[in-house]
Amino acid sequence: MSAPLYPNYINGEWVEGPTFDNRNPARWDEVVGRFVNGTPEDVARAADAAQAALPGWAAMTGPARGALLFRVADILEKRFEEISADMTREEGKTLPEARAEVRRSINIFRYFAGEGARLGGIVAPSERDRVHMFAFRKPVGVCGLITPWNFPSAIPAWKLAPALICGNTVVLKPASAAPLSAWRLVEACHEAGIPKGVVNFVAGPGKALGEALVNAPPLRAVSFTGSCGVGAWLHEQASRRRLRIQLEMGGKNPTIVLADASFDLAVENVVNGAFFSTGQKCTATSRAIVEETIYDRFVEALVERTKKLRVGDGMQPGVDIGPCVDEAQMNTVLRYIEIGRRECGEPLCGGRRLAGPDFDCGWFVEPTIFAGVTQDMTIAREEIFGPVLAVMKARDLRHALEIANASEFGLSASLQTSNLSRMFEYIYGIEAGLVTVNLPSAGVEYQLPFGGTKDSSFGPKEQGPAAIEFYSDYKTVYVKY
């Protein structure tokens, strides 16, 4: 039986055409779905449809748009198990991780649905007699949303929901490696009764579709999450047209472990941050910077705990870590492991592609730890985006901060400590947009702004109230009465 066909969605219609396969990274021979290979012309039609739908959608009241987003959340909730399983099959993360992500998407839709009744503005006293003045929010216009494969539902959701609640219309271009989770959101938008043209979905090759999208005349804003190279290219294109732009890109996130930390918790947090979701989180811990007095004991405990992690098909109960998303990503990870071997010797654990009947048909890599890593090494500087951890030694917190900040990236960071003053020294001294204490470096919630500093991000933050800032503009009014 051939795999289901998932068409593109343009102007409220499902559009078929030649397809590409979406495959299961744990069982490469399984085709999860066939997606329509969109063309630049499809993107142009989608942008025109979004432009045509804009006045009607923008004219609806915020609460009315909110009611539709609540309906989207309810539809996702009804299909919770099916959508979660789809995600594990297309991206490889474990089923519990997929469920947590789908839950987050539902919550994101509900959060922004509620914002529909709170899209306030500013009222200020005028210096002039009998003048009433205020500023209210209006949509930006047609928004292009370009999303990656690693959070294939939550990232599209945290762009889509705030864009829609503010009255914008959108063209969504999902990652080719995992388009189904985003497609499920669009399907729910369609079933919820969101008017035609408001949400458009075009899957297909990133370069051709991205170029068509950023050059589509109706476009007013672009929100992108993905690699630094593509982000930089988009920024150039968008700046030429003075589009509003938001970029979320790479990271090389540190977890600093001080001698006063709760030891076992710190081990768990580093293992969780480094290896869960196969290290394929932009907020994953890729450097553990450990105070020298506990260094040896900590590394030993880390290796012991990591060796207990079970790698396998994320659909199977008890599996902690799924495969890399595809062969190319796996080869990138294996290439960095070889670089690590040359730079600092054999890893303390892992370091190989897994082989055997359960693994040969997927892209599985052992969770890998290199110790004694120093700042000059490639594996301490470049993003790997896989289950590879570099452990580094620091004399004290100040030294640890120096190491942590010696990076072009500044997405997330974590500190393990029980000392209040050191905690604040770190909070103010670390160069990162997302800062955690006694938690893994990964694990964000939708109620607060999300994004990094330095080369990790550009433009206004995503999520929470910050998302409303990006997706809306002010109109300022003066009235003499």
Contact 419, 261 (CB under 8 A): no
- C-beta of 87 vs 192, nearer to ligand NDP: 87
| 335 makes contact with ligand NDP (CB under 6 A) | no
Give the Cα-Cα-Cα angle 38, 40, 41 (nearest 5 degrees).
90
| Catalytic position from the list 143, 166, 189, 282 | 282
- Percent of residues in the chain assigned helix, strand, coil, to nearest 5: 40, 25, 35
Structure tokens at 144: 């292009």
**How far is residue 168's CA from residue 50's CA, in Å, rounded to a whole number?**
9
Part of the chain binding ligand NDP (CB under 6 A), chosen from 128-136, 219-227, 387-395, 398-406: 219-227
**How far is residue 244's CA from residue 469's CA, in Å, rounded to a whole number?**
11
Instruction: Mark residues 453-472: x for contact with ligand NDP by CB under 6 A, - for none.
Output: --------------------
Among 11, 227, 316, 419, binds ligand NDP (CB under 6 A): 227
Whose CA is closest to 41, among 21, 15, 19? 15
| 205 makes contact with ligand NDP (CB under 6 A) | yes
Q: How far is the CB of 210 from ligand NDP (least distance, A)?
A: 2
Binding residues among 158-187 for ligand NDP as defined by CB under 6 A: 173, 175-177
Among 83, 234, 288, 400, binds ligand NDP (CB under 6 A): 234
**How far is residue 104's CA from residue 97's CA, in Å, rounded to a whole number?**
11
- C-beta of 208 vs 361, nearer to ligand NDP: 208
Number of Cβ atoms within 10 Å of the Cβ of 338: 10
143 carries an active-site annotation: no
361 carries an active-site annotation: no
- C-beta of 78 vs 207, nearer to ligand NDP: 207
Among 84, 150, 181, 277, binds ligand NDP (CB under 6 A): 150
Structure tokens at 187: 């399907």
Q: How far is the CB of 441 from ligand NDP (least distance, A)?
A: 13
Q: Which residues contact 451 (CB under 8 A, 6 or more apart)?
A: 246, 248, 411, 433, 434, 457, 460, 461, 462, 466
| 475 makes contact with ligand NDP (CB under 6 A) | no
Longest dimension (CA), the chain: 82
Among 37, 84, 94, 147, binds ligand NDP (CB under 6 A): 147
How many residues form the binding site for ligand NDP (CB under 6 A)? 27
- C-beta of 102 vs 249, nearer to ligand NDP: 249
Q: How far is the CB of 382 from ligand NDP (least distance, A)?
A: 10
> What single-letter amino acid sits at 273?
G
- C-beta of 417 vs 463, nearer to ligand NDP: 463
Please state the φ and ψ torsions of residue 351, each to the nearest 5 degrees.
100, 5
Give the Cα-Cα-Cα angle 437, 439, 444 (nearest 5 degrees).
100
| Catalytic position from the list 115, 248, 383, 462 | 248
Residue with tokens 């964000």: 444
Part of the chain binding ligand NDP (CB under 6 A), chosen from 1-9, 66-74, 203-211, 473-481: 203-211
CA distances from 459 to 19, 140, 232 (A): 34, 15, 12
Contact 90, 22 (CB under 8 A): yes
- C-beta of 139 vs 250, nearer to ligand NDP: 250
Binding residues among 338-397 for ligand NDP as defined by CB under 6 A: 383, 385
> Residues in the site for ligand NDP, rule: CB under 6 A?
146-150, 173, 175-177, 205-207, 210, 225-227, 230, 233-234, 248-251, 282, 383, 385, 411
Instruction: Cite the active site residues.
Output: 248, 282
